[in-house]
Amino acid sequence: MSIVQEREPSMSRLLIAGASSLLACAALAQPQQQQPPNPEQMKQIMQATMGAMVSVMGPMTDAVIDAQVNAAARPETAEKIAAFKKNLYDALLKKGFNAQQALQIVISTAPPAAAPSAK
Protein backbone atom coordinates (compact mmCIF):
# COMPACT_ATOMS: atom_id res chain seq x y z
CA MET A 1 0.00 0.00 0.00
CA SER A 2 2.85 2.33 0.48
CA ILE A 3 3.57 2.29 -3.29
CA VAL A 4 -0.02 3.33 -4.03
CA GLN A 5 0.14 6.10 -1.46
CA GLU A 6 3.37 7.43 -2.97
CA ARG A 7 1.84 7.45 -6.47
CA GLU A 8 -1.31 9.27 -5.44
CA PRO A 9 0.41 12.49 -4.38
CA SER A 10 2.46 12.52 -7.59
CA MET A 11 -0.67 11.86 -9.70
CA SER A 12 -2.53 14.66 -7.99
CA ARG A 13 0.49 16.91 -8.47
CA LEU A 14 0.50 16.00 -12.16
CA LEU A 15 -3.20 16.74 -12.44
CA ILE A 16 -2.79 20.09 -10.69
CA ALA A 17 0.22 20.97 -12.84
CA GLY A 18 -1.66 19.94 -15.99
CA ALA A 19 -4.72 21.95 -15.04
CA SER A 20 -2.56 24.97 -14.18
CA SER A 21 -0.76 24.71 -17.52
CA LEU A 22 -4.06 24.43 -19.34
CA LEU A 23 -5.41 27.52 -17.59
CA ALA A 24 -2.21 29.45 -18.28
CA CYS A 25 -2.37 28.57 -21.98
CA ALA A 26 -6.01 29.57 -22.13
CA ALA A 27 -5.22 32.91 -20.51
CA LEU A 28 -2.37 33.56 -22.95
CA ALA A 29 -4.55 32.60 -25.91
CA GLN A 30 -7.09 35.27 -25.00
CA PRO A 31 -6.62 38.25 -27.33
CA GLN A 32 -5.03 41.21 -25.63
CA GLN A 33 -7.23 44.27 -25.95
CA GLN A 34 -5.17 47.24 -27.00
CA GLN A 35 -6.22 50.78 -26.46
CA PRO A 36 -6.74 52.67 -29.72
CA PRO A 37 -4.27 55.52 -30.18
CA ASN A 38 -5.38 58.89 -28.90
CA PRO A 39 -5.71 61.76 -31.41
CA GLU A 40 -2.18 63.06 -30.75
CA GLN A 41 -0.65 59.58 -31.23
CA MET A 42 -2.71 59.13 -34.40
CA LYS A 43 -1.44 62.46 -35.73
CA GLN A 44 2.17 61.41 -35.07
CA ILE A 45 1.62 58.04 -36.77
CA MET A 46 0.08 59.72 -39.82
CA GLN A 47 2.90 62.28 -40.06
CA ALA A 48 5.54 59.55 -39.88
CA THR A 49 3.74 57.47 -42.51
CA MET A 50 3.31 60.42 -44.87
CA GLY A 51 6.96 61.40 -44.45
CA ALA A 52 8.07 57.90 -45.41
CA MET A 53 5.72 57.84 -48.40
CA VAL A 54 6.87 61.22 -49.74
CA SER A 55 10.52 60.19 -49.71
CA VAL A 56 9.66 57.15 -51.85
CA MET A 57 7.04 58.76 -54.10
CA GLY A 58 9.30 61.55 -55.41
CA PRO A 59 11.76 59.25 -57.22
CA MET A 60 8.91 56.98 -58.36
CA THR A 61 7.05 59.94 -59.88
CA ASP A 62 10.22 61.07 -61.68
CA ALA A 63 10.69 57.58 -63.12
CA VAL A 64 7.08 57.42 -64.34
CA ILE A 65 7.29 60.84 -65.98
CA ASP A 66 10.59 59.93 -67.66
CA ALA A 67 9.07 56.70 -69.00
CA GLN A 68 6.04 58.58 -70.37
CA VAL A 69 8.18 61.25 -72.05
CA ASN A 70 10.43 58.58 -73.58
CA ALA A 71 7.40 56.70 -74.93
CA ALA A 72 5.84 59.89 -76.30
CA ALA A 73 9.08 60.79 -78.11
CA ARG A 74 9.00 57.63 -80.23
CA PRO A 75 7.49 58.06 -83.74
CA GLU A 76 5.47 54.85 -83.43
CA THR A 77 3.70 56.31 -80.39
CA ALA A 78 2.52 59.31 -82.42
CA GLU A 79 1.31 56.94 -85.15
CA LYS A 80 -0.68 54.93 -82.61
CA ILE A 81 -2.25 58.05 -81.11
CA ALA A 82 -3.15 59.33 -84.61
CA ALA A 83 -4.77 55.98 -85.44
CA PHE A 84 -6.72 56.09 -82.17
CA LYS A 85 -7.99 59.63 -82.81
CA LYS A 86 -8.88 58.86 -86.47
CA ASN A 87 -10.74 55.68 -85.48
CA LEU A 88 -12.60 57.61 -82.79
CA TYR A 89 -13.57 60.36 -85.26
CA ASP A 90 -14.78 57.81 -87.85
CA ALA A 91 -16.77 55.88 -85.25
CA LEU A 92 -18.43 59.06 -84.01
CA LEU A 93 -19.48 59.97 -87.56
CA LYS A 94 -20.90 56.45 -88.02
CA LYS A 95 -22.89 56.85 -84.81
CA GLY A 96 -24.58 59.96 -86.16
CA PHE A 97 -22.52 62.85 -84.81
CA ASN A 98 -21.90 65.63 -87.30
CA ALA A 99 -18.31 66.55 -88.23
CA GLN A 100 -18.11 69.46 -85.79
CA GLN A 101 -19.46 67.39 -82.86
CA ALA A 102 -17.14 64.50 -83.68
CA LEU A 103 -14.13 66.83 -83.85
CA GLN A 104 -15.02 68.40 -80.49
CA ILE A 105 -15.26 64.95 -78.87
CA VAL A 106 -11.94 63.85 -80.42
CA ILE A 107 -10.22 67.02 -79.20
CA SER A 108 -11.55 66.58 -75.66
CA THR A 109 -10.76 62.86 -75.48
CA ALA A 110 -7.34 62.07 -74.03
CA PRO A 111 -5.42 59.22 -75.62
CA PRO A 112 -5.25 56.01 -73.59
CA ALA A 113 -2.63 56.24 -70.83
CA ALA A 114 -1.33 54.19 -67.92
CA ALA A 115 -2.40 56.90 -65.47
CA PRO A 116 -5.30 59.33 -65.67
CA SER A 117 -4.31 62.71 -67.09
CA ALA A 118 -4.65 65.86 -65.04
CA LYS A 119 -6.28 68.78 -66.80
Contact (Cβ atoms closer than 8 angstroms) between residue 109 and residue 88 = yes
Report which of residues 107 and 32 the model is more confident about: 107
- pLDDT tens, position by position, 94-111: 999 999 999 999 999 998
Q: Any idea where the domains of the chain sit in the sequence?
A: 75-111
Confidence at residue 7, expressed as pLDDT on a 0 to 100 scale: 46
DSSP 1: -
pTM of the shown model: 0.49
